[in-house]
């Protein structure tokens, strides 16, 4: 992303964002709630288009791609959605098999082996016959990860993968993210606000704030930053440049006007 601007309803989300994700690395996108982390993912998967600036993926300018080109590009990506987003009327096996059935003409015997291989990779081969409602939160997230990797994508995207997980499940997901990225040629993008967890796996981090990149570099570099905004986020302080209140008119004046 180079000089990317994007606004919703006249409210700027990005005002000149520059982000570079390098092949074979784990790149973390961090920031307080509402800073556009998920919006960034929508931009790089061509779900939305930038108002200004350039977004390139695999060297392709997304603004110049046809619909067919965009679909072809997305097939090279795997996505772990927030909270898993499993299809509730399909069992674990069919959830993982779904992308294969949609995008390939592989024979059933090969699909069976492929799905079991991916479930084995996330430790859930024995849960193939369970329904999503029978899974714990951590298990559902691991099934969703198996689905994300079933077509062997070049890029794995994780949108808030740690939300709602107990410490053990969180540790398992962290280990899986690290393990998946060790496969040759795989690139990982992890969007989260969990500073401590990301610091254990990320090669490079971007901190978004105020519509721009407030800081970028290895996690240790961000922790050592002398920027007040960066320190507030990295330490979880309630006091700092990121205000508690959303911008609003003068409180007393607004109350007085309401009485009238």
Superfamily designation of domain 2-76+153-227: P-loop containing nucleotide triphosphate hydrolases (3.40.50.300)
Residue 189 exposed, middle or buried by CB count within 10 Å (0-12, 13-18, 19+): buried
Task: Provide the pLDDT confidence category of residue 160 given band limits of 50, 70 and 90.
Answer: confident
Q: How far apart are CA 110 and CA 115, in angstroms?
A: 9
Q: Helix, strand or coil for residue 223? A: helix
Averaged over 7-12, what is the pLDDT?
A: 86
Question: Is 0.85 topped by the overall pTM?
Answer: no
Which sequence spans correspond to the domains of the chain?
2-76+153-227
Per-residue pLDDT at 128 exceeds 50: yes
Of 37, 49, 38, 41, the closest CA to residue 7 belongs to 49
Per-residue pLDDT at 67 exceeds 50: yes
Please report the pLDDT score of residue 243 as a whole number: 52
Strands lying side by side in the sheet with 2-8: 11-17, 2-8, 52-54
Most confidently predicted of 147-161, 170-184, 206-220: 147-161
More confident residue, 17 or 233: 17
Averaged over 80-94, what is the pLDDT?
A: 87
């Amino acid at each position: 992303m180079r000089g990317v601007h994007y606004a919703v309803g006249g409210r700027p989300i990005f005002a000149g964002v520059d982000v570079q994700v390098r092949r074979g690395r784990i790149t973390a996108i961090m920031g307080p709630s509402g800073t556009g982390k998920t919006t960034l993912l929508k931009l790089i998967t061509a779900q939305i288009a930038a108002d200004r600036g350039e977004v390139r993926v695999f060297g392709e300018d997304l603004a110049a791609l046809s619909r067919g080109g965009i679909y072809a590009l997305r097939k090279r990506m795997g996505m772990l959605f927030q909270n898993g987003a499993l299809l509730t009327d399909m069992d674990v096996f069919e959830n993982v098999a779904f992308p294969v059935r949609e995008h390939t003409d592989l024979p059933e015997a090969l699909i069976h082996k492929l799905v079991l291989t991916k479930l084995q990779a996330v430790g859930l081969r024995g849960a193939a016959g369970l329904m999503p409602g029978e899974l714990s939160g951590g298990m559902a997230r691991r099934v969703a990860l198996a689905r994300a990797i079933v077509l062997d994508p070049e890029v794995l995207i994780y949108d808030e993968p740690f939300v709602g997980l107990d410490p053990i499940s969180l540790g398992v997901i962290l280990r899986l993210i690290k393990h998946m990225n060790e496969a040759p040629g795989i690139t990982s993008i992890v969007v989260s606000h969990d500073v401590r967890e990301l610091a254990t796996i990320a090669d490079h981090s971007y901190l978004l704030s105020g519509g721009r990149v407030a800081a970028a570099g290895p996690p240790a570099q961000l922790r050592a930053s002398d920027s007040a905004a960066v320190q507030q986020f990295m330490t979880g302080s309630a006091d700092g440049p990121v205000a508690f209140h959303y911008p609003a008119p003068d409180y007393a004046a607004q109350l007085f006007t309401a009485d009238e």
